[in-house]
Amino acid sequence: MRILLIGAGGVGDGIAKVAAERSFFEVMVVSDYDLSRAEKSIEWIRKRHGDEVAAKFIPAKIDASNAANMVEMCREHNITYVINAVEPKFVPTVFSAAFTAGVGYVDMAMSLSEPHETDPFNKPGIKLGDAQYALNEQWEKAGKLALIGMGVEPGMSNIFAKYAYDELFSEVDEVSIKDGSNLVVKNEDGEEIFAPSFSIWTVIEECLNPPVIYEKDKGWYTTRPFSEPEIFEFPEGIGAVECVNVEHEEIPMLPRTMDVGKVTFKYGLGSDFIDVLKTLHHLGIDATKPVRVRSASGPVDVSPRDVLVAVLPDPASIGPRMTGKACAGVLITGKDKAGKDRATYIYHVADNAETMAEYDAQCVVMQTAFNPVIALELIAEGQWSGVGVRAPEQFAPKPFLELMSASTGYHQRWFAQERLPANPLALP
């Protein structure tokens, strides 16, 4: 397997560092628009693992907005799989470039949604991933695999849901992804600051778009941002966090292949974080359409959201100033194999102190980074196979979970915690 990694930011850097510990691939081209970021990742690998391991990694400059550039690089390096680790806005270009080059494809965030033109808070328009699923037949005919949504959420969360669906439940009433943390980022003076642990571009997409909900008897529908707040008790000392509905890929993904009563995604944002996002929206700073700005060198057209990306701390750089843990998990309710009520929370926790010590990278990006590498190792070994545009839950979950947690695998522990069916939001 020969891999082209597009994007060497926080998650891309983490992917390269995780991959350096595995032997299933021949070459990984680490590419970025900023060549120095790719070179920095590979230099870290050299210092940690030596010249022999680092020799498998090749730095390259790439433009994720230029399909021809990516196709050329695939052919130059005889690539077999592309990992897309750049902003979701580049998904259409990278996705099409991989198809044109005739290589496999993996991403962690899917094609963007568009709200309903006349009734955005009740009806979905174009859902997350719709543009990719629509090309399934083309990928099938080409005999190539596009594995979409293979990060932590979506990705690992889909695997957890499928494992519960297959192994633990006879009937699933609801799959509710619950994401929360007690992470804190402070500045040089020790003051807590607003510093999202992943791209503010993605934060805005997820949190300010109308959240999508799925119910079996209603199909997909939407609601208003930050709706239906609830207090969820997260494990491993994180504690009670208020969670609200946000838009997320699992909701349009899971009902396509799983018979479930309801699918939701609730994110523990906190009131201060929500207030900042609301303010950005009211001021129009979340907009993507360029506006004309006067500058000393003359007028320029700039996207307000791109300005936010530029002025906020780079998520890849905040690890040393971050403390706490991040929990990604799935609460499944329904009937167990014997027909009794059951509520199970399957989760993974990443501790920032541990990921900084092991990978010199903050915990949220590392919690995402190991998943596409595990998936590609399963594909390389023939444990996962298929063609077309496919999601993680369309593959056997056990091999993934075994490799994820094995001492000879990725050393990432996951847990299935039983909750009281009458009150699944609280710790038992």
Phi, psi of 402 (to 5 degrees): -70, -45
Q: Does the structure show a pLDDT above 80 at 316? A: no
Tell me what the mean pLDDT of segment 312-335 comes to. 90
Q: Residue 90 has what DSSP assignment?
A: G
CA distance 224 to 413: 35
Give the number of other CB atoms < 10 A from CB of residue 275: 12
pLDDT > 90: what percent of the chain?
80
In the chain, the percentage of residues whose pLDDT exceeds 70 is 100
Least confident of 44-48, 235-239, 319-323, 329-333: 319-323
| Tokens encoding 423 | 């009150």
* pLDDT recorded at residue 195: 79
**For residue 384, what are the CA distances in angstroms to 133, 213, 398?**
19, 29, 11
Beta bridge mates, 332: 175, 344
Q: Give the residue, 193 or 9, on which the prediction is more confident.
A: 9
Q: Where, residue-wise, is CATH 3.40.50.720 in the chain? A: 2-107
Residues of the chain within CATH 3.30.360.10 domain(s) are: 156-367+411-419
Give the separation between CA 154 and CA 254, rounded to whole angstroms: 10
What pTM does this model have?
A: 0.94
Q: Cβ neighbours of residue 36 under 8 Å, at least 6 residues apart?
A: none
Task: Count the alpha carbons within 13 Å of 80 in the hemisphere toward its beta carbon.
Answer: 10
Which of 207, 198, 274 lies closest to 12, judged by CA? 198
Nearest to 30 by CA among 101, 107, 83: 83
Alpha carbons 365 and 358: distance in angstroms, whole number: 13
Q: Give the pLDDT score at 256.
A: 97
The answer on pLDDT for 94 being more than 90 is yes
- Give 307's pLDDT tier (boundaries 50, 70, 90): confident
The alpha carbon dihedral of 48, 54, 56, 60 has a sign of positive
Task: Give the tens place of pLDDT for each residue, 195-248.
Answer: 777 777 778 877 889 999 999 999 999 999 999 999 999 999 999 999 999 999
The residue whose two tokens read 């056997």 is 396
Mean residue pLDDT of the chain comes to 94
Predicted pLDDT of residue 205: 77
Question: Which residues are paired to 32 by β-bridges?
Answer: 61
**For domain 156-367+411-419, is the CATH number 3.40.50.2300?**
no
- 73 pLDDT higher than 80: yes
Query: What is the CATH superfamily name and number for domain 2-107?
Result: NAD(P)-binding Rossmann-like Domain (3.40.50.720)
For residue 417, the tally of other CB atoms under 10 A from its CB is 15
Token pair for 228: 């239906």
Tell me the two tokens of residue 270. 């906190």
